[in-house]
Amino acid sequence: MAQRKQLTWMELRVGLFVLVGLAVLAAGIFYVTGGESFGPKYRLITYLPDVSGLVHGAPVRLNGVEIGNVETIKLAPHVRGQVRPKNRNIEVVMRLSKQYDSDILTDSAASLVTEGLLGNRYVNISLGVTGVPLKDGQEVPGVEESGMKEVMDRSVDVLGNLQTLSEDIQGVVDGVKAGKGTVGKLLVDEQAYNHLNSILSRGEVMLANIQAGQGTLGKLVASDEMYNKVDKGLDNVNVILTDVRSQKGTIGKLLYDPTLYDEAKQAISNGNAVIGDVRAGKGTLGKLVTDDTLYTKMRDATDNVASATAKLNDNTTTVGKLFSDPRLYDNLAGLTGDMRLLIGEFRQNPKKFLRIKVAVF
């Protein structure tokens, strides 16, 4: 009887241990999931054109935040005789946490998203802004996965461009093989090879002549004459530099003799003194620079000259008439004509003009 009671107590302890373990496991799951797995749920439906890669239990996210999972995936009901809309091919039932029902509104939209380029696929719902909350069993409008479609479209364009590029490259290669163009002729035309071979042969002959000391370049390479001249020239330059350092010649004195510096300094000092005297109004140049008397006289003289020229241009004055009245010119011309006639008659018959009358009183 005592053995029966001890066995029952052992079974009870095992049962209690199992219950405690289950409780700890449930608490761990609750802690990891944040309590969402045990909260109230509700279901929403969406229709998508294609759900390739989406599996049962895939996460459902609200702007990236996980709020539930995909419960069922099946073909959308179809009424016979009617055309099935392309964007409502697949019906997806989502089991979502009730605490987010105020964020999923009638203006929200569900779309299929791929994690990375080749990652798992999940359903993403956008936050609503101006709509009203969706109730259990209502539909979230589905939209096509624009990102992946755009990538696929761009991939098609890239593949098309690559195909065109490969065809162009193949055309170029075929042209080169056919001997077209400069590159093609270089590859298939023997004439270009012969020309190149001839150039190389001439180059070898030229190098041989240079090594033999022929020609100007050969003499420069093989003969020491130019080197000796250059070396001698450098020696002369060194001698000149030594003379300059020894203060010989004009350049040496200019570089090392302080007399020129002192004279230049003295000349600058004298120039500064002259400029100071000029600024002070000393001497003729100083008075010309600082005294206004000469300027005033020159201004009065120019005024007088302007007045005199104005009178010369005026016909009312004697001098003006001399310059502008044509009658004086006519009278002078007539007088010179009469003088010519008088001189001519005098030359022909001077007695006519040289009569001497003597009278005796």
| Sheet of 65-75, strand order | 110-114, 121-125, 59-62, 65-75, 90-97, 41-48, 139-140
Sign for the CA dihedral angle at 225, 227, 231, 237 comes to positive
- Tell me what pLDDT residue 96 has: 93
**Torsions phi, psi for 340 (to 5 deg):** -60, -45
Sign for the CA dihedral angle at 150, 155, 156, 162 comes to positive
Q: Locate tokens 């230049």: which residue?
A: 264
pLDDT tens sequence across 299-310: 888 888 877 777
Q: Averaged over 35-40, what is the pLDDT?
A: 62
* DSSP conformation letters of 183-198: HHHHHH-HHHHHHHHH
Query: Rounded to whole angstroms, how far apart are CA atoms 221 and 22?
Result: 100
- Tell me what pLDDT residue 2 has: 46
> Where does the pLDDT of residue 45 fall: very low under 50, low under 70, confident under 90, or very high at 90 and above?
very high
Using only C-alpha atoms, the chain has a radius of gyration, in whole angstroms, of 61
Q: Averaged over 217-240, what is the pLDDT?
A: 79
Q: Averaged over 213-222, what is the pLDDT?
A: 75
Tell me the two tokens of residue 144. 């096509």
* Average pLDDT score, the chain: 79
- Tell me what pLDDT residue 43 has: 93
pLDDT tens sequence across 172-217: 887 777 777 777 777 777 777 788 788 888 888 888 888 777 777 7
Query: Rounded to whole angstroms, how far apart are CA atoms 123 and 112?
Result: 5
Cα angle at 221 between 219 and 223, to 5 degrees? 50
- Tell me what pLDDT residue 69 has: 93
Query: Rounded to whole angstroms, how far apart are CA atoms 339 and 251?
Result: 78
pLDDT tens sequence across 81-119: 777 777 788 899 999 999 998 999 999 999 988 886 667
H-assigned helices in 212-292? 215-222, 225-245, 249-256, 258-279, 283-290
Task: Using CA atoms of 235, 236, 240, 243 in order, give the dihedral in degrees to the nearest 10.
Answer: 70
Sign for the CA dihedral angle at 210, 214, 218, 224 comes to positive
* DSSP conformation letters of 319-361: HHHHHH-HHHHHHHHHHHHHHHHHHHHHHH-GGGT--------
Q: Averaged over 258-277, what is the pLDDT?
A: 83
Q: Averaged over 144-161, what is the pLDDT?
A: 67
252-258: which pairs have CB atoms within 8 A and are 24 or more residues apart? Answer: none
- Tell me what pLDDT residue 30 has: 58
| 3-state SS class at 309 | helix
For residue 97, count other CB atoms closer than 10 A to its CB.
19
The DSSP output letter for 230 is H
- Tell me what pLDDT residue 242 has: 84
Query: Rounded to whole angstroms, how far apart are CA atoms 142 and 125?
Result: 9
pLDDT tens sequence across 9-32: 667 777 777 888 888 887 766 555
> Where does the pLDDT of residue 1 fall: very low under 50, low under 70, confident under 90, or very high at 90 and above?
very low
- Tell me what pLDDT residue 35 has: 46
- Tell me what pLDDT residue 34 has: 46
Q: Locate tokens 């001249």: which residue?
A: 229
pLDDT tens sequence across 319-355: 666 666 677 777 777 888 888 888 887 788 777 766 6
- Tell me what pLDDT residue 44 has: 93
- Tell me what pLDDT residue 357 has: 59
The answer to whether 44 and 16 have CB atoms below 8 angstroms apart is no
Query: Rounded to whole angstroms, how far apart are CA atoms 129 and 148?
Result: 25
Tell me the two tokens of residue 13. 């302890």
- Of residues 69, 75, 76, 52, the one with CA closest to residue 125: 69
% of the chain with per-residue pLDDT over 70: 83
**Residues in CB range of 195: below 8 A, 6 or more apart:** none
